Amino acid sequence: MSGIAGIIRFDGGPVEAVHIEQMTDAMAHRGPDGIYHHRRPSMALGYCQLCTTAEALEEAQPALSADQQRVLVMDGRIDNFEELRAELTAHGVQLRNRSDAELVLGAYDIWGRDCLAHIDGDFAFVIWDDRRQMAFCARDHNGSKPFCYHWDGRTLTFASQVSAILAMPWVKRERNSGMLAEYLANRWYSRSDTLWAGVSRLVAAHAMEVSRDGPKTVQYWQPDLGHVLPCKSDAEFAEYYRCLISKTVRNMTRSHKPVAFEVSGGLDSSSLFCLAVHLQDQSRFLAPGISGYTLNFAGWPGTDELEYVKAVADHTQKPVREVVPTAKNAAWFRNFAELSGEFPGYPNGTMSIGLREVARDDGGRVLVTGIGGDEWLGVPWKGGYYRNAVKDLDWDQLRRSLKYDWASLGAARAIWLAFRHGVVPLCPEFIKNHFRQLQGQRQEPDWLSRDLLNIFDRRRVAETYQPDIGRSHRYQLSLLGDAYSILAREAEERSVAHQNLEIRSPFMSRELIQFAFSAGDWMLYRGDLHRWLHRRALRGIVPDLVLERTWKSEFIGVIRQQLSTISTELTDEIAPRRSDWVKPGVINRLSEREQDGEDEGWEGWILWTLFGCDALFAPGNKSDNKVLP
């Protein structure tokens, strides 16, 4: 991952060179191929370069327009590069090199703020427009690339990492109690806040113009719920999807180095690896090689997937290198929080560090993951398609669903699914609450202190994302604004950046997200079979053993193992010290349940989150330029 940074003063005051250098120094690991700056009297931009494509070798950032009036810094990659290059050429644009940065500058020159309708990929960029005295900022459709900023009324400070902004003397290190409440409740609502007051994140699929009048944001993309796919039969849907996922994998694996794939043995990551090999066999792969890597969980109950990994390796005739999972101790997480200025993450998030280091040492610059498959290729509940059918009075779909489930699951199960997911959601709230209790859904966060619980309740009402783009596709709509998913992707991006790699997730592409909306639940999940269409479309490309797999690995044991090393500290030191955050007595009970094995799984996440927040806000914490071990 590259990194961008900038300081723009709208009061005409000077920007000192030392400040932009401090910002890029705070994220120097993002620039193994060089760190560069561009300064003007009241503006300074910085770029930490990681080249991941042949075209990137031709770019020089910060990139200036031909007339020197616009300057761009971008952490990103344009996936519709061929179409955009042709479009710009047709408009008479004289492209000076093949870089993606040049394409973005050209698009802005032609279409201005409307350029984002022509750009598809993973990106976060800022264009300083000298003529308009305005900064144009944008973040990709799903927030794959990070973008944080601080505005104090006269100065815009932005960067790929919070630590770079906190390094500036005018930015106060003040805790954001609202975001802290969301973390400790383990329920996230804000898509724009960080754990630091005054430091914000640009929301995914949004653009921001900043002038002396301050920031103004606008959403530039959302799925088209009226879009109709040119498919009628199941076979036509399968063919359409197979072509789409193949095109997506091709465009998102462009690199001048061999591309590394995480191959867990699960359906998502295995499918991407198999598709890449299939494209390579057809001479359609845009990289010189493919490498597969997996974590060897042999002996770990519920996590050993090597049987499926070996099936993938045999099917593709490509080796998949096995790496031992990485385990970091509590001190490592404390150190990460201090140096990054971010919540340090969860123990399961560090397991792949060693794998990624091996991929980097093997010469890779790009890491492809199956992130997004869970979200966009299926729905989280069996029979979820009944909800939309009943809500929208689509009796044909309801009849079709019942007929299929009756045949595959039996009459009783089919009727139950139709009732549970088609009727119950329309019932009064007290009935829905009864079903939630039966399902064991998590209770209210009574472990929070009274003050923090009040803050949390206010934010829960104010921040809940409710897109006004239709009443169907409720699950997909909630995914677009799911604050936790965005935070999780940002954390994954930060981790991979420390290994000098760029993470790419084809299932998160804009076209595939649009497809999920257009195809509907019925094509994604039938009866007990999630990812129904994906499995059908990739028959023959992915080994049958993987396509027929229905279980997923469970890693709660990793958190339990780490908690066992800090349980006494949590109950005897952290909880009493943070009594303004949590109720120590309730934390003790959660810890006892977790240690006795009586917990339902979520207690461990609560306890670890308390540890992580305590580490972040430990007295004296201040980011510096040390390198994480």
* pLDDT tens string 284-327: 999 999 999 999 998 777 788 999 999 999 999 999 999 999 99
Q: Which residues pair with 40 in a beta bridge?
A: 43
* pLDDT single digits (tens) 13-51: 999 999 999 999 999 999 999 999 999 999 999 999 999
DSSP state of 324: P
Q: Rounded to an integer, what distance in angstroms lies between the CA atom of residue 38 and that of residue 137?
A: 17
CATH topology of domain 3-219: Glutamine Phosphoribosylpyrophosphate, subunit 1, domain 1 (3.60.20)
Q: 3-class secondary structure for 129-161? A: ECCCCEEEEEECCCCCCCCEEEECCCEEEEECC
Min mean pLDDT across 151-165, 177-191, 247-261, 427-441 is at 427-441
The confidence score (pLDDT) of residue 513 equals 95
Task: Specify the range with the lowest mean pLDDT, choosing from 259-273, 377-391, 558-572, 586-600.
Answer: 377-391
- Cα angle 86, 205, 115 (rounded to 5 degrees) comes to 30
User: 525 or 237: whose pLDDT is higher?
Assistant: 237
pLDDT at 623: 42
Nearest 5°: the CA angle 160, 257, 546 is: 90
Spans of all domains in the chain? 3-219, 234-377+494-547, 388-483, 556-616
Region 121-146: what's the mean pLDDT? 97
Q: How far apart are CA 406 and CA 404, in angstroms?
A: 5
pLDDT at 366: 98
Residue 551 has pLDDT above 90, yes or no: no
Which of 252-286 are b and which e, b meaning 16 or more Cβ less than 10 Å from the residue's Cβ?
bbbbbbbbbbbbbbbbbbbbbbbbbbbbbeeeebb
234-377+494-547 placed in CATH 3.40.50.2300 = no
Select from 441, 465, 390, 19 the least CA-distant residue to 206.
465
Q: Give CA–CA dist 70/128, Å, rounded.
A: 5
- Neighbour tally for 370: CB within 10 Å: 22
